[in-house]
Amino acid sequence: MKTAVVVVAHGSRVKEANYGLYGVIENLRSTGRWDMVEPSFLQFEEPNLSCAVEGVINRGAGKVVVVPLLLFPGNHMLKDIPEEIKEQRSRHTGVEIVLTRHMGIDDRIAQIVIDRIEEATGNGKVSAGTKNTPLRPEDIEKESFRILSELIDLEQFPKDFRPIVQRVVHTTGDPDFASTLVFHPDAVTSGIEAIRAGRPILTDVTMVKAGIDKKILSSFGGEVICKISDPQVSQDAESAGDTRAAASMRAAAGMISGGIIAIGNAPTAIFEVIRLINGGGMKPALIVGIPVGFVGAVESKEELAKVSVPFITNRGRKGGSTVAVAIVNALLRIAKEKYL
């Protein structure tokens, strides 16, 4: 029986405030303990709890564990979420749907609070700021880049590649990416040209779509496409006996000519993109392929590195949606600095 975990957060009108949940999801997925791990939101962002639960059940989950990423109980925890779960149980009588406790009072949370206080007062690991001057976001980023420059030598990379390496290492906190990222020689040039031309960006999952800086992209006339949740894609995947990620690539093949494909989760999406390119059914300008995991991730990236289309990938099992987003947003920032 497949077990799915659905993490539910409150959600915010500020898009950037929702990105934290996607990082939590990536961390949970990387443990490999559950068959599926998906995000959901109570307000302002999609998918909502109902859609997320329906989605994992449609993908074969026989047990769904709903985890409220809420610190203390309130109406959402006491009323809204239980009522939604009750409704889902009535719809899916053969599926076990359970609700965990909220985060609540926990020594681990207290320790995080202590860490934040020490950072803000200058007693923590971040050295910028003073005891009387709280750290500003720009101070933290500046200090992060200073530390990063001590860990890796950006001068070893071609000039066009440096902002991308820097952003990936900064986003992940993992200097290993500096030695595992692989660039096609024309990757950055091709990606910038696609952005300037207002071409779309196709993603394999909603987490990548949500993280991309749509304000910059739309200023060039581009948009983000993600078909993973389309009902027809689910039907096509079931009929073909493959994944929704692969089916979503087929569904968008005619829409992405000259655009960018950003894959941060599904190796099967990369394999399908390669098949479509070899068959003449897809002509992207750039493929960002950084899936994470133990099944197919390494192999899919090795195959991607053989295609003639410009690509950015990495060696090994590491990767994920946050890395794919970091690469795309680095390209968007380069385009903004040069042409806006």
Output the pLDDT for position 30: 72
| pLDDT at position 317 over 50 | yes
Arithmetic mean of pLDDT over the chain: 87
CB 67 within 8 A of CB 8: yes
CB 67 within 8 A of CB 9: no
Instruction: Kindly report, residue by residue over 217-269, the tens digit of the pLDDT.
Output: 999 999 999 998 888 998 999 899 988 999 999 999 999 999 999 999 889 99
Output the pLDDT for position 226: 92
Specify the 3-state DSSP secondary structure of 339: helix
List of residues 6+ apart from 27 with CB closer than 8 A = none
Where does the pLDDT of residue 294 fall: very low under 50, low under 70, confident under 90, or very high at 90 and above? confident
Eight-state DSSP code of residue 136? P
Active site residues per annotation: 170
| pLDDT at position 122 over 70 | no
Output the pLDDT for position 301: 96
- Residue of higher predicted confidence among 200 and 132: 200
CA-nearest of 228, 227, 203 to 214 is 203
For residues 258-279, one letter each, b for 16 or more C-beta atoms within 10 angstroms of the residue's C-beta and e for the rest, the string is: ebbbbbbbbbbbbbbbbebbee
Supply the DSSP string of 32-91, one letter for each residue.
Answer: T-SSEEEEEESSSSSSBHHHHHHHHHHTTEEEEEEEE--SS--HIIIIIHHHHHHHHHHH
Q: What are the two backbone dihedrals, phi and then psi, of residue 134, each rounded to the nearest 5 degrees?
A: -60, 145
Can you tell me the distance from the alpha carbon of 65 to that of 75, in angstroms, rounded to the nearest whole number? 20
Tell me the two tokens of residue 92.
């899916």
pTM of whole model > 0.75?
A: no
| pLDDT at position 313 over 80 | yes
Output the pLDDT for position 123: 59
Output the pLDDT for position 130: 44
Domains and CATH numbers, the chain: 2-99 (3.40.50.1400), 107-143 (no CATH), 153-339 (3.40.50.10230)
| pLDDT at position 310 over 50 | yes
Average the pLDDT over 56-61 and give the result: 88
- Residue of higher predicted confidence among 281 and 112: 281
Strand locations in the chain (E):
2-9, 36-41, 61-68, 96-99, 181-183, 201-203, 224-225, 260-263, 286-289, 311-314
Q: What is the chain's length?
A: 340
| pLDDT at position 47 over 70 | yes
Output the pLDDT for position 117: 81
Tell me the two tokens of residue 43.
């307000």
| pLDDT at position 57 over 60 | yes
Torsion-angle region of 283 (φ positive above 0: left; ψ -120 to 50: alpha; else: beta): beta
Average the pLDDT over 257-282 and give the result: 94
The 10 Å Cβ neighbour count of residue 229 is 17
Output the pLDDT for position 193: 97
Instruction: Kindly report, residue by residue over 156-208, the tens digit of the pLDDT.
Output: 888 999 989 988 887 777 888 989 999 999 999 999 999 999 999 999 988 88
